Amino acid sequence: MQYIIPIAVLLFSVIVHEVAHGFVAYKCGDDTAKLMGRLTLNPLYHVDLIGTILLPLTLVLAGLPAFGWARPVPINVLKLKNPKKDIIYVSAAGVTANILLAIVSGIIMFIIRNYFANVETMEYIYVILQYMVVINVVLFVFNMIPLPPLDGSRIVYYLLPRELAQKYAKIERYGFWIIVLLLITGVLWDIIRPIVNFLVKLIS
């Protein structure tokens, strides 16, 4: 059970993250994700073997925070009503969904602590909410790192002048491997841990 809960919470959280991207894109004129059936919370449409299953399981077994990703929702920038502006909203949608999930979970934790502290069944729910806060904060902070192909880099790219943005985009071919290297060496967690701990304490 100690492994099932964090992995289940992570699965739900990364799916919400991707659906948020697709939903905002749809509202901005891009129906690609909707036509491909990706605007759903059904895990079968979002599972990535490495990011959703193997990596989270390995991290949990190693005693590290559950972390991973779902299969990216397809976005067609050309279909957006205002590509330059809308892509920033689309890129920010996933991390916004994660931090909102963390905040809502923190509020419910507060209510349980103050009004349902003696209700036995609430203990199980409280544990799930704790995982919701931690995992969604980790996803929020991680995805805001301005390293392609993470969401933070998409936002930075579209805010930069065109010439500088094109140079910045060239990093993407190495981005995935840089992230893997940072994960393996533990450097990534050392970088984001102070921010994660601060936000978890603030929200919890």
Residue 18 annotated as catalytic: yes
C-alpha–C-alpha distance, residues 156 and 99, integer Å: 19
C-alpha–C-alpha distance, residues 171 and 198, integer Å: 29
Q: Return the closest-CA partner of residue 105 out of 68, 134, 146.
A: 134
**In the structure, how many helices (H) and strands (E) does the chain have?**
9, 0
C-alpha–C-alpha distance, residues 49 and 13, integer Å: 16
**59 touches 65 (CB < 8 A):** yes
Q: How many Cβ atoms sit within 10 Å of the Cβ of residue 28?
A: 20
C-alpha–C-alpha distance, residues 190 and 186, integer Å: 7
Which of 18, 120, 123, 172 does the annotation list as catalytic?
18
Q: Catalytic residue numbers?
A: 18
